[in-house]
Amino acid sequence: MAKLYFYYASMNAGKSTNLLQADFNYRERGMRTVLLTAAIDDRFAAGTITSRIGLAADAITFERDTDLVAIVTREGEAPPACVLVDEAQFLTATQVDQLALLADVHGIPVLAYGLRTDFLGALFEGSARLLAIADSLIEIKSVCWCGRKATMNLRVDAAGHAVAAGAQTEIGGNDLYIALCRRHFSEALCAA
Protein backbone atom coordinates (compact mmCIF):
# COMPACT_ATOMS: atom_id res chain seq x y z
CA MET A 1 0.00 0.00 0.00
CA ALA A 2 1.32 3.44 -0.97
CA LYS A 3 1.84 6.01 1.76
CA LEU A 4 1.84 9.76 2.26
CA TYR A 5 5.09 10.89 3.92
CA PHE A 6 5.79 14.30 5.45
CA TYR A 7 9.44 15.24 5.81
CA TYR A 8 9.60 18.43 7.85
CA ALA A 9 12.34 20.63 9.27
CA SER A 10 13.42 24.18 9.92
CA MET A 11 15.11 26.24 7.23
CA ASN A 12 18.48 25.02 5.94
CA ALA A 13 18.05 21.41 7.04
CA GLY A 14 18.45 19.90 3.56
CA LYS A 15 14.82 19.20 2.68
CA SER A 16 15.25 19.99 -1.02
CA THR A 17 18.53 18.06 -1.15
CA ASN A 18 16.79 15.05 0.40
CA LEU A 19 13.92 15.33 -2.12
CA LEU A 20 16.28 15.57 -5.08
CA GLN A 21 18.23 12.52 -3.86
CA ALA A 22 15.00 10.52 -3.59
CA ASP A 23 14.05 11.64 -7.12
CA PHE A 24 17.46 10.60 -8.42
CA ASN A 25 17.11 7.16 -6.82
CA TYR A 26 13.78 6.54 -8.60
CA ARG A 27 14.99 7.85 -11.95
CA GLU A 28 18.25 5.89 -11.74
CA ARG A 29 16.11 2.75 -11.70
CA GLY A 30 14.17 3.87 -14.78
CA MET A 31 11.08 4.98 -12.84
CA ARG A 32 9.15 8.14 -13.70
CA THR A 33 8.50 10.68 -10.95
CA VAL A 34 6.42 13.83 -10.73
CA LEU A 35 8.04 16.78 -8.95
CA LEU A 36 5.83 19.57 -7.62
CA THR A 37 6.78 22.88 -6.04
CA ALA A 38 4.97 26.02 -4.94
CA ALA A 39 4.71 28.70 -7.61
CA ILE A 40 5.16 31.33 -4.90
CA ASP A 41 8.75 30.17 -4.25
CA ASP A 42 10.74 32.04 -6.87
CA ARG A 43 14.06 32.33 -5.00
CA PHE A 44 16.04 30.54 -7.73
CA ALA A 45 13.92 29.96 -10.83
CA ALA A 46 10.20 29.39 -11.29
CA GLY A 47 9.39 25.73 -11.74
CA THR A 48 12.69 24.55 -10.30
CA ILE A 49 13.52 22.75 -7.07
CA THR A 50 16.97 23.95 -6.02
CA SER A 51 19.03 22.97 -3.01
CA ARG A 52 21.61 25.18 -1.32
CA ILE A 53 24.35 22.71 -2.28
CA GLY A 54 23.69 23.23 -5.99
CA LEU A 55 21.39 20.38 -6.97
CA ALA A 56 18.35 21.32 -9.08
CA ALA A 57 15.52 19.75 -11.06
CA ASP A 58 12.57 21.01 -13.07
CA ALA A 59 9.20 20.74 -11.35
CA ILE A 60 5.54 21.46 -12.00
CA THR A 61 4.38 24.48 -10.00
CA PHE A 62 1.19 24.56 -7.97
CA GLU A 63 -0.98 27.46 -6.89
CA ARG A 64 -3.64 27.40 -4.17
CA ASP A 65 -6.30 26.29 -6.66
CA THR A 66 -4.24 23.67 -8.55
CA ASP A 67 -5.82 20.21 -8.75
CA LEU A 68 -2.88 17.93 -7.93
CA VAL A 69 -4.75 14.73 -8.78
CA ALA A 70 -5.43 16.06 -12.30
CA ILE A 71 -1.73 16.88 -12.78
CA VAL A 72 -0.48 13.49 -11.60
CA THR A 73 -3.11 11.30 -13.29
CA ARG A 74 -3.09 12.83 -16.75
CA GLU A 75 -5.02 10.77 -19.23
CA GLY A 76 -2.86 8.66 -21.49
CA GLU A 77 0.12 8.62 -19.13
CA ALA A 78 1.18 5.72 -16.98
CA PRO A 79 1.07 6.60 -13.29
CA PRO A 80 4.38 7.78 -11.86
CA ALA A 81 6.34 5.63 -9.44
CA CYS A 82 6.38 8.48 -6.94
CA VAL A 83 5.22 12.07 -6.40
CA LEU A 84 7.65 14.42 -4.63
CA VAL A 85 6.44 17.78 -3.31
CA ASP A 86 8.77 20.60 -2.27
CA GLU A 87 7.61 23.57 -0.17
CA ALA A 88 4.66 21.48 1.08
CA GLN A 89 3.81 24.08 3.72
CA PHE A 90 2.23 26.13 0.92
CA LEU A 91 -0.30 23.41 0.05
CA THR A 92 -3.92 23.93 1.03
CA ALA A 93 -5.66 21.39 3.25
CA THR A 94 -7.64 20.29 0.17
CA GLN A 95 -4.43 19.70 -1.77
CA VAL A 96 -3.01 17.61 1.07
CA ASP A 97 -6.20 15.53 0.92
CA GLN A 98 -5.58 15.16 -2.83
CA LEU A 99 -2.09 13.83 -2.08
CA ALA A 100 -3.63 11.31 0.32
CA LEU A 101 -6.03 10.27 -2.45
CA LEU A 102 -3.09 9.69 -4.80
CA ALA A 103 -1.58 7.33 -2.22
CA ASP A 104 -4.77 5.63 -1.03
CA VAL A 105 -6.75 5.26 -4.26
CA HIS A 106 -4.15 5.48 -7.03
CA GLY A 107 -1.40 3.59 -5.18
CA ILE A 108 1.26 6.26 -5.75
CA PRO A 109 3.69 7.01 -2.90
CA VAL A 110 3.82 10.72 -2.07
CA LEU A 111 6.81 12.34 -0.37
CA ALA A 112 6.08 15.88 0.81
CA TYR A 113 8.87 18.12 2.14
CA GLY A 114 8.33 21.40 3.95
CA LEU A 115 8.48 23.64 6.95
CA ARG A 116 6.38 22.79 9.99
CA THR A 117 6.00 26.36 11.30
CA ASP A 118 6.30 29.95 10.19
CA PHE A 119 8.46 32.77 11.63
CA LEU A 120 6.14 33.16 14.62
CA GLY A 121 5.96 29.45 15.44
CA ALA A 122 2.47 28.95 13.94
CA LEU A 123 1.63 26.02 11.69
CA PHE A 124 1.20 26.55 7.96
CA GLU A 125 -2.07 25.23 6.52
CA GLY A 126 -0.40 22.54 4.45
CA SER A 127 1.89 21.46 7.26
CA ALA A 128 -0.97 21.28 9.75
CA ARG A 129 -2.95 18.98 7.47
CA LEU A 130 0.10 16.84 6.71
CA LEU A 131 0.85 16.48 10.42
CA ALA A 132 -2.76 15.38 10.89
CA ILE A 133 -3.07 12.78 8.12
CA ALA A 134 0.35 11.68 6.81
CA ASP A 135 1.13 8.00 7.24
CA SER A 136 4.68 8.79 8.23
CA LEU A 137 6.20 11.92 9.82
CA ILE A 138 9.96 12.27 9.43
CA GLU A 139 11.91 15.12 10.98
CA ILE A 140 15.04 16.22 9.15
CA LYS A 141 17.48 17.65 11.67
CA SER A 142 19.13 21.05 11.55
CA VAL A 143 21.37 22.77 14.10
CA CYS A 144 21.03 26.06 15.99
CA TRP A 145 24.12 28.24 16.48
CA CYS A 146 24.29 26.85 20.06
CA GLY A 147 24.54 23.24 18.86
CA ARG A 148 21.00 22.18 19.83
CA LYS A 149 18.45 20.94 17.34
CA ALA A 150 16.95 23.83 15.34
CA THR A 151 13.18 23.55 15.12
CA MET A 152 12.11 27.16 14.56
CA ASN A 153 12.51 29.72 11.74
CA LEU A 154 13.27 33.26 12.89
CA ARG A 155 12.61 36.04 10.36
CA VAL A 156 15.16 38.85 10.53
CA ASP A 157 15.39 42.31 9.00
CA ALA A 158 18.33 43.68 6.99
CA ALA A 159 20.20 44.44 10.23
CA GLY A 160 19.72 40.91 11.54
CA HIS A 161 17.09 41.83 14.16
CA ALA A 162 14.11 39.55 14.82
CA VAL A 163 10.85 40.39 13.05
CA ALA A 164 7.79 39.79 15.25
CA ALA A 165 4.97 40.80 12.88
CA GLY A 166 4.06 40.60 9.22
CA ALA A 167 2.60 38.34 6.59
CA GLN A 168 2.97 34.61 7.23
CA THR A 169 4.69 34.11 3.90
CA GLU A 170 7.72 36.08 2.81
CA ILE A 171 9.96 34.20 0.43
CA GLY A 172 13.61 34.28 1.33
CA GLY A 173 16.62 32.29 2.38
CA ASN A 174 19.53 32.98 4.70
CA ASP A 175 18.99 36.70 4.11
CA LEU A 176 15.59 36.60 5.86
CA TYR A 177 15.53 33.50 8.07
CA ILE A 178 17.68 31.86 10.72
CA ALA A 179 17.05 28.32 11.98
CA LEU A 180 17.13 28.29 15.80
CA CYS A 181 16.34 26.03 18.73
CA ARG A 182 13.12 26.90 20.56
CA ARG A 183 14.99 28.65 23.41
CA HIS A 184 16.92 31.04 21.18
CA PHE A 185 13.90 31.60 18.94
CA SER A 186 11.80 32.62 21.98
CA GLU A 187 14.55 34.87 23.33
CA ALA A 188 14.93 36.62 19.96
CA LEU A 189 11.17 37.17 19.56
CA CYS A 190 10.84 38.52 23.12
CA ALA A 191 13.62 41.00 22.39
CA ALA A 192 11.96 42.18 19.16
Just list the catalytic residues: 87
User: Is 16 a known ligand-binding residue?
Assistant: yes
User: Is 144 a known ligand-binding residue?
Assistant: yes
User: Is 184 a known ligand-binding residue?
Assistant: yes
Dump strand ranges (E) for 40-184: 48-50, 56-58, 60-62, 82-85, 110-115, 136-139, 152-155, 177-180
User: Is 87 a known ligand-binding residue?
Assistant: yes
Residue 86: exposed, middle, or buried by beta-carbon count in 10 A (0-12, 13-18, 19+)?
buried
User: Is 14 a known ligand-binding residue?
Assistant: yes
User: Is 18 a known ligand-binding residue?
Assistant: no
Residue 9 in 3-state DSSP? strand
User: Is 82 a known ligand-binding residue?
Assistant: no
Dump strand ranges (E) for the chain: 4-9, 33-38, 48-50, 56-58, 60-62, 82-85, 110-115, 136-139, 152-155, 177-180
User: Is 181 a known ligand-binding residue?
Assistant: yes
Residue 103 in 3-state DSSP? helix
User: Is 177 a known ligand-binding residue?
Assistant: yes
User: Is 89 a known ligand-binding residue?
Assistant: yes
- Please state the residue numbers annotated as binding site for Zn(2+): 144, 146, 181, 184
- Please state the residue numbers annotated as binding site for ATP: 9-16, 86-89
- Please state the residue numbers annotated as binding site: 9-16, 86-89, 144, 146, 177, 181, 184
- Please state the residue numbers annotated as binding site for substrate: 177
